[in-house]
Amino acid sequence: MMKFLFMIFFMIPLCFLKNMFWMVQLMLMVIMFLFMNCMINIVNFSNLSYMLGCDLISFSLILLSIWICMLMIMASESLKKNKFYDNFFLLNIIILLIMLYLTFSVMNLFLFYLFFEGSLIPTMLLIIGWGYQPERIQAGLYLLFYTLFASLPMLMGIFFIFSEYNNLIIYYMKFFNFNFYLLYFSMILAFLVKMPMYFVHLWLPKAHVEAPVSGSMILAGVMLKLGGYGLLRFMILFQEIGMKLNFIWIIISLVGSFYISLNCLCQVDMKSLIAYSSVAHMGLVICGIMTINYWGYLGSLIMMIGHGLCSSGMFCLVNICYERLYSRSLYINKGLMNFMPSMSLWWFLLMSSNMAAPPSLNLMGEISLINSMVSWSWLSMIMLIMISFFSAVYSLYLYSYTQHGNYNLGMYSFYTGVSREYLLLMLHWLPLNILILKIDYMMIWF
Amino acid sequence: MMSSDIINKNTDRIIYPEHADVVIIGGGFIGASVGYWLKTRAGEGLSVVILEEDFTYARIQNNVSLGILNQHFSLPENINLSQYSVEFLRNVKNNLNSDVDIQFCPIGHLILASDKYAERLEQNVAILKEYGVKNELLTTNDIQEKYPWINTVDIKLGCISTESEGIFNPWALLKGLVMECKKLGVTFVNAKVVGFEMEQQQDVLMEGISPGNFKRINQVIFKTNDNEEHTIKFAIGVLSAGDSSGKIAKLAQIGLGDDLLKLPLPVERREYNIYKIRDSDDVKINLHTPCLMDTSGLWLRRNSIDRNFLCGVTPLLNSNEKELLSDGYYADIIEPSLLNRYQNIKQNQISKLKTEIDDCNTYDGTGILGYHPYHTNMILAAGFGKLGCQHAPGIGRAIAEIVIDGHYTSIDLTRFGFDRLLIDEPLVEFNVY
């Protein structure tokens, strides 16, 4: 595990050499495949060294982060073409990857917190440095302060746990049990804001709209999953009190996801629509974890991986259209099938994955989550019906509005698309729809 | 009536927008109308920026000649546009804010035809009746009876419309449109366009262009008052800069390239004079005096509720820019026609009032509206001449329709497109006012 950390760390000087933009991306791909070959023990933590260790959740999420970071570089070729500080951009991505890698692989709660907060800094630099509009400053501040203030109580909580039990190893958390309400709320709040849950989700649409494509990809792809990962780890501590109080978060998330799905249908900015759809999906993930069901755990992990790939792919698609048409508004991006017919395939594949159509990972996640929710209480069926239905509605709405119908311009011309973009989208879609064939990798835990 | 600044200039730190969905170059009648319609239909869905180099509208301010509304056209599109303008102006307090005082006086527009064109006038009247325009033909006797101060010696037929034609206050319309734009959220930038930035697109396939050579307009470069250049990235640009449209089109390489870029935008500036005729006992201007269109191309209108006339000549396509301003032109052409037609006017009643600017489409005199065939993200809307003000609501709505709906849904203005220059089929409006 340390070896990968060092490998990523020593890619930093590589960022500053000339003409190394694609080399960095290639190296990340190499790291990805090397890391995949780590034989991990699914049930327990394996590959232990110093503070780092790996179990199934960490492993899948580290794979996701390396993959998304690699795709971020592939998506940002316009930065390289315009020479817009591409070295610093690469440096930013590498540091972000280091932070994420460490967040997912450390065995210590405090170090987890440290890198959890640390990953915010490169993200904010990415939004403020490479975003498009003057409003990005406000967006960056929202992102930073929402997540920072919410997670400060968690720091206090970690110190409390340390003072009680004198260690912070994640593996030992299953032997502990806390019954303090205050501790419960302060620890959980950080992750709920990060996920985000319905009432504290305001930062997400703002950040997504103002972020460049790479910022959106990493935000939707991995940063939201940090919240999910934290919840997966910390729920073990709070099982007893959770059984009493989790209904609050489940209800807020369920009803909130429904409202947000309705809100998606009113959006005119494509990125905003996808951002709200992220909130809706993550609402389901929160519910799954909060039920403290085996299926809920599984479903949330699978959903996180699936949603990370799918959302990131959709942001890439929006960026492809933005680079051509210079607008994200639905009034201008319509009838694109006439304009870029080959892209329609990718729009369809990713939109259908978004609405959890088979055979995507999202489907598997949603089935498991629905199972866990209904087994927790049959009343949740009402909201789940609505959420599933409307997620199909807004995915289809986005697809048919952008692709079908009357087109705006380009009467005599159309775009063929660039190979790099097709590769980018394929690399998003392939794991999404092919991993379903080996889903027992994630479904058989303990 | 003539205020110096209709948009308050906030000269503290201004943050110029770096990106907009629609950029409108030129914030005059057509530009403001496009902004108004886009925002009314799309609301927050489209961000609209208008680049206007003169917020005092000093060059439009003087356009008192534009406040004439008439429907007696030969092209059906023009007729429909006029009819829509009338509808818009009648409901102007609902459409724009309720402070707008448009002073629409439907006094009618009397068109005089000599022997040569009398038959044509009759045919035109028949066509107009099909479009629902209410007008009546007047014989020479009728004209002499109603308006004894007109010399009808060489006139065979006249035509006056009994509703929906008249004069209005164009300044109020412009102000109303601009204020409503600001209220709906259009950003106005005080700037002058100095160039366009083009980017080569590798993967565009276009008819007539070899692959990989397509250059797309990315950003518009504008210079603000402090001589600093800024750029705005946009998705759709609307070129409605009036008489500067030809020059700005050249900045976008329209006319300087080959194939589809070979033809320049033939919109040029023409200047003409407006003359004021004081009332006298012989002429007796009253509230019913209609606007007059003479056989010589001289138009006459009442100066709102003042007791004097304004008159002038519509610039022709093949005159040069300042030809109509010369004293020779006045002495040889304008004055004799004036004195011939209205024999009660003495020479000392005529005085020059203002010089006005007209954007003239030197190809065929009708406006150019629609996407440019090469620059598929630029909409051209120029060359309407004096009809620009009159038809502004209809034109603005048409442009909003092609942006939002993809095609014209209410009035079909496809024939006004740039394509007619490519296939060399001029679309001439016979009744030019």
Mean pLDDT of B327-344: 76
Each residue of A209-254: pLDDT tens digit? 999 999 999 999 999 999 999 999 999 889 899 999 999 999 999 9
Residues of B in Cβ contact (< 8 Å) with A406? 405-407
Q: Is the pLDDT of residue B297 over 90?
A: no
Q: For residue A22, what pLDDT is reported? A: 92
| CA distances to A29, A76, B328 from A21, in Å | 13, 10, 70
Cβ-based burial of A440 (10 A; exposed 0-12, middle 13-18, buried ≥19): exposed
Handedness of CA A244, A248, A250, A251 (dihedral sign): positive
Contact (CB, 8 A) for B357 and B420: no
Contact (CB, 8 A) for B387 and B416: no
Classified as helix, coil or strand, B257 is coil
Nearest to B234 among A133, A324, A326 (CB): A326
CA–CA separation, A113 and A165 (whole Å)? 18
Q: Is the pLDDT of residue A125 over 90?
A: yes
Q: CB distance B204–A332 less than 8 Å?
A: no
Q: CB distance B42–A330 less than 8 Å?
A: no
Q: CB distance B45–A329 less than 8 Å?
A: yes
- β-bridge partners, B382: B368
Is the predicted ipTM greater than 0.90, yes or no? no
Each residue of B218-277: pLDDT tens digit? 889 998 888 889 999 999 999 998 888 989 999 988 888 777 888 888 888 888 778 887
Nearest to A326 among B42, B214, B233 (CB): B233
DSSP string, B10-74: --S-----SEEEEEEE--SHHHHHHHHHHHHHHGGGS-EEEEES-TT-HHHHT-GGG-EE----S
Closest CA to B238 of B19, B16, B26: B26
The dihedral region occupied by A427, where left means phi > 0, alpha psi between -120 and 50, and beta the remainder, is alpha
Question: Chain B residues with CB-CB distance to A under 8 A?
Answer: 15, 17-19, 21, 42, 44-47, 201-209, 214, 218, 233-236, 371, 373, 376-377, 403-407
Contact (CB, 8 A) for A291 and A231: no
Contact (CB, 8 A) for A317 and A323: no
Amino acid present at A156: M
Closest CA to A70 of A45, A40, A101: A101
Please report which residue ranges of A195-293 form alpha helices under DSSP H: 203-210, 213-218, 224-234, 239-264, 270-290
Tokens of A99: 């932070």
CA distance to partner chain B, nearest, from residue A272 (Å): 12
The DSSP output letter for B409 is S
* Structure-token match 């970690």, residue found: A158
* Structure-token match 């008159």, residue found: B311
- β-bridge partners, B350: B277
CA–CA separation, B34 and B398 (whole Å)? 8
Count of domains observed in chain A: 1
Torsion, CA A435, CA A440, CA A442, CA A445, rounded to 10: -170
Confidence tier at B22 by pLDDT (50, 70, 90) = very high
Residues of A in Cβ contact (< 8 Å) with B405? 406
> How many Cβ atoms sit within 10 Å of the Cβ of residue B127?
13
Each residue of A171-200: pLDDT tens digit? 888 888 888 899 999 999 999 999 999 999
Which residues 6+ apart lie within 8 Å of A95 measured at CB?
A12, A122
Q: Does the bond joining B373 to the residue before it have cis omega, within 30 degrees of 0?
A: no
CA–CA separation, A300 and A285 (whole Å)? 5
Highest mean pLDDT among A152-161, B348-357, B383-392 belongs to A152-161
Tokens of B429: 């409006």
CA angle (A174, A176, A182) in 5-degree steps: 120
Mutation to test the B interface, candidates A78, A342, A408, A422, most B Cβ within 10 Å? A408
CA–CA separation, B367 and B396 (whole Å)? 13
Q: For B7, what's the count of Cα atoms within 13 Å in the CB-facing half-sphere?
A: 28
Q: Which helix (H) or strand (E) holds B157?
A: strand B157-161
Residues of B in Cβ contact (< 8 Å) with A329? 21, 42, 45-47, 235
Q: What is the mean pLDDT of chain A?
A: 91
CA angle (B84, B87, B90) in 5-degree steps: 150
Each residue of A126-164: pLDDT tens digit? 999 998 888 889 999 999 999 999 999 999 999 999 999
Q: For residue B140, what pLDDT is reported? A: 83
Confidence tier at B12 by pLDDT (50, 70, 90) = low
Q: What is the distance between the terminal CA atoms of chain B, rounded to a whole angstrom?
A: 25
A161-165, B301-305, B407-411, range with the lowest pLDDT: B301-305
CA distance to partner chain B, nearest, from residue A419 (Å): 10
Residues of B in Cβ contact (< 8 Å) with A131? none
Residue A398 vs residue B152, higher pLDDT: A398
Mutation to test the A interface, candidates B19, B23, B215, most A Cβ within 10 Å? B19
Provide Rg for chain B, Cα atoms: 22
Contact (CB, 8 A) for A64 and A223: no
Contact (CB, 8 A) for B39 and B181: yes
Q: What is the mean pLDDT of chain B?
A: 82
Q: Are strands B291-293 and B68-69 parallel, antiparallel or unpaired?
A: unpaired
Question: Residue A267: closest CA among chain B residues belongs to which residue?
Answer: B45
Q: For A35, what's the count of Cα atoms within 13 Å in the CB-facing half-sphere?
A: 28
Each residue of B52-84: pLDDT tens digit? 988 887 766 556 667 788 888 888 888 899 999
Which residues 6+ apart lie within 8 Å of A281 measured at CB?
A257, A303, A307, A311, A362, A391
Classified as helix, coil or strand, A216 is helix
Residues of A in Cβ contact (< 8 Å) with B202? 418
CA–CA separation, A307 and A217 (whole Å)? 11
Amino acid present at A328: R
Q: Which domain, by its residues, includes A286?
A: 1-443
Q: For A105, what's the count of Cα atoms within 13 Å in the CB-facing half-sphere?
A: 29
Closest CA to A150 of A101, A181, A187, A102: A187
* Structure-token match 């009402």, residue found: A382
